[in-house]
């Protein structure tokens, strides 16, 4: 059986894709669109007719390990790593540089923001904003993806600003004193933090999660003084 793949050539650089042993597909020309420099893991199945008549796009330079499942209407960006047994339900959007650990399940219509990380065995039922880490049987936000941000070249100053913003939004002493909207607005008006583009992108990612037809963000732990 042949693998149905359409290569999206966006530059003159050398393009490639790699199917590891046991990866198979079916003859449905034009149904699966895959960009360049992607690696498909062992015994993966791509290009076969899924349980929906609509199909979306996988971008460039992704590493999709064995036994992953990307369901109908998903949209996968670039430079993502989906570890073994990552399962994405329908209409999930994965931005860029997202990393999932093994046996991760993502609920339909959820969004995974760029540079986010999902811990092993997580069940993600809502959005994970940019730069953040989520983990747990019912995944909660666990702070910033510090290792991933450092590896991807974010500066110490950028990371420090994002950590300060995260603490003000999600780790205030009494999270019930003011609403999430009020805490976001306070950070947006902070004289130092507001000038950091990465911090502004993080705030916008949080706000986008509450737009119409979005699922909101994963739960987070409320901290107190005790």
Which string of b and e fits 97-133 if b means at least 16 CB within 10 Å? bbbbbbebbbbebbbbbbbbbbbeebbbbbbbbbbbb
Q: Are 119 and 98 in contact (CB under 8 A)?
A: no
Which of 72, 119, 121, 190 is catalytic? The answer is 72
Distance CA 127, CA 206 (A): 9
- For this structure, is 90 an active site residue? yes
Q: Are 40 and 23 in contact (CB under 8 A)?
A: yes
Is 70 in a helix, a strand, or coil? Answer: strand
- For this structure, is 72 an active site residue? yes
Which of 26, 90, 121, 216 is catalytic? The answer is 90
Q: Are 183 and 203 in contact (CB under 8 A)?
A: no
Distance CA 148, CA 204 (A): 20
- For this structure, is 96 an active site residue? no
Which of 26, 43, 52, 73 is catalytic? The answer is 73
Catalytic residue list: 72-73, 90
């Amino acid at each position: 059986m042949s693998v149905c793949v359409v290569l999206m050539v966006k530059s003159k650089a050398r393009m490639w894709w790699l199917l590891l042993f046991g990866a198979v597909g079916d003859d449905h020309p034009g149904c699966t669109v895959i960009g360049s420099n992607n690696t498909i893991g062992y015994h993966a199945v791509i290009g076969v007719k899924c349980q929906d008549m609509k199909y979306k796009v996988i971008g460039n330079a992704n590493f999709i390990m064995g036994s992953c499942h990307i369901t109908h209407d998903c949209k996968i960006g670039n430079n993502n790593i989906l570890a073994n047994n990552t399962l994405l339900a329908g209409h999930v959007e994965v931005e860029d540089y997202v990393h999932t650990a093994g046996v991760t399940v993502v609920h339909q219509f959820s969004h995974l923001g760029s540079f986010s990380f999902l811990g092993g065995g997580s069940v993600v039922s809502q959005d994970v904003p940019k730069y953040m880490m989520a983990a747990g049987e019912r995944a909660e936000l666990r702070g910033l993806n510090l290792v991933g941000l450092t590896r991807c070249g974010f500066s110490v100053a950028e990371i420090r600003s994002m950590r300060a913003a995260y603490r003000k939004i999600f780790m205030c002493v009494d999270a019930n004193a003011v609403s999430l909207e009020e805490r976001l607005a306070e950070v947006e008006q902070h004289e130092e933090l507001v000038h950091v583009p990465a911090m502004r992108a993080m705030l916008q990612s949080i706000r986008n999660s509450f737009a119409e037809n979005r699922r909101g963000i994963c739960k987070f732990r409320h901290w107190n003084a005790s």
